[in-house]
Structure 1
Amino acid sequence: MTLRALQFGASGQLARELCDRAGERVEIKALSRADVDLMDTAAVARAIGAEPVLDLVINAAAYTAVDKAEDEPDLAYAINAWAPAAMAKACAERGAALVHISTDMVFSGAKAAAYVETDAPAPLHVYGASKLAGEQAVLAACDRAVVLRVSWLFSAYGQNFLQAMLRLAQSQPRLRVVADQRARPTASGDLAAFILDQAPRLAAAPAGAKEWGLLHFTNAGVTTRHEMAQAIFALAWPDRPPPEIEPIATRDFPTPARRALNAELDCSRLAQVFGVTPRPWRDALGEAIAALAAAQDRKVA
């Protein structure tokens, strides 16, 4: 029997990966912001309540302008906290499971080791605080919800570090990239595959099951932004010299929102609960770059 999922978000990188990979196993109805205004919590709840058959709700929509959020806190909170809260309440009333996406940016980066789910959050900026509020609201309102924290999402779709590096290199022979921020990157495609693979299990799991709660999902391997940039050009430009990539410190690249130096997420619980160990981020990066090149070839043809 096909599992039916309602997805908030249709054009972002994760949303598109989910729709592309769903196939026949999960029937996804993806709602864009034109379909449902996330600023309208009543409209969010109505969208969930109106579905005749509903097994799972996936929130792949978010306000992701980290620096801009410093000047737009009300908008950031509305989309990242109050809309997910409305989703969670409506899911609880419908008896539907909820998958909500969060971020490593709920942490300050002060810890020396990788963060586990039970570590105390301490966001450095409005964006991180809005995402933390969303986590807390979701888990308080719905006892069949999993909150997936991710780091440095990348894909052939949307706006992300991979896309930014390739775009900037078209006009800048020399790139300055921070070398003291580290994390375990997350391929949007691998995250989408995990959600879809586990969808039947999540749709069937009762309240109180081990599947629910906070969960970290990243690909394997720790890197810095500078090292990731080097890997991007090694894979994307195998037949031509890469741009010069100058390593710089975070303090030399000031931004409105402070960035954590350590964004490593520990994924031990992912392996314990779901028996899943994601592949190395470099392998996933190569696949995303190949997909991006194939899409560009289709445009030229």
Structure 2
Amino acid sequence: MHEARSASVPVETRAADYLQAASMTAPLLGSGSQETPAVNTYNSACGELTVLLRSSEGGRLWNHPVTLTGNNSTYHLRLEPASHAVWTPNYFTSFELEQQIKEKLIRKENIHKGVGGALVGVRKVNPPEKFAPPRGITAAVTATLDFHGKDATLALRRPAKQPTATVEGKTRPLAANFSAPMSYYQPPGNLMFVGLLGGFNATKYPAPTGLYFMQPYDPDRIPLVFVHGLFSTPFTWVQTINGLQADPEIRKHYQFWIFAYPTGNPILYSALRLREELAKADQLYPNHKPYIVVGHSMGGMLTN
């Protein structure tokens, strides 16, 4: 895939080369549960093709049928439409390869071996959506390719919803990195100082008070609302959320919301702001499942 990765090659040619690499290795995937040269090549081709198509030339080749010709082959590519276990193609505004994201706060990554390109989908729109973190809303995405001759279908699968999928006519586990979407939110280098600053001088706290969704809203999952404590920041919860997401049943049935606030503000004021934010969530998503609030230290006082 050397030529497919070359920025000096036209996008259409690069995309066709990725498709050729995936097409040649797809019949050799086996069970998909073990790393083999064929699985690694197929997974890389699926993931890198998705990033290329979504990001190149303003997404000119994204989400409509295209014919792509490389050095040796011509392919007809389409994106699979949304379903229970497949993301809407246009939902995410960009994708990141899992290996490009630095894991700064997570000690043990939640990685699921399987087939497909493990990606982080990022949705960041202007004006910002309510409850979206400043860097956008993220989620684990697995890109797979199915071939019928020279006709190819690219699917953006939801591994948290369904950890397996029928790929090339056989049910196989999906590759996924459930830690990378959290690690996409990089902490400031002076994280401890930021927490102290929020406790001693709330007016200089760099982050706006508010409720933030750590994944796209899902009406089928129960919200867990995390409220940090004194001299702390929302990054306190990264390890906790990462640990919870290691359980496939929790991944499937729960979603994670975080309330951020400078702890130097009066407790009653911060408690009021928390209730206001939850009321806004009730108004925007009136059919959401009853949420569970988890507070630590001062965060517990806000929830009483």
TM over 0.5: no
Higher share in strand: 2
TM-score normalised to the size of structure 1?
A: 0.29
TM-score normalised to the size of structure 2?
A: 0.29
Higher share in helix: 1
Larger radius of gyration: 2
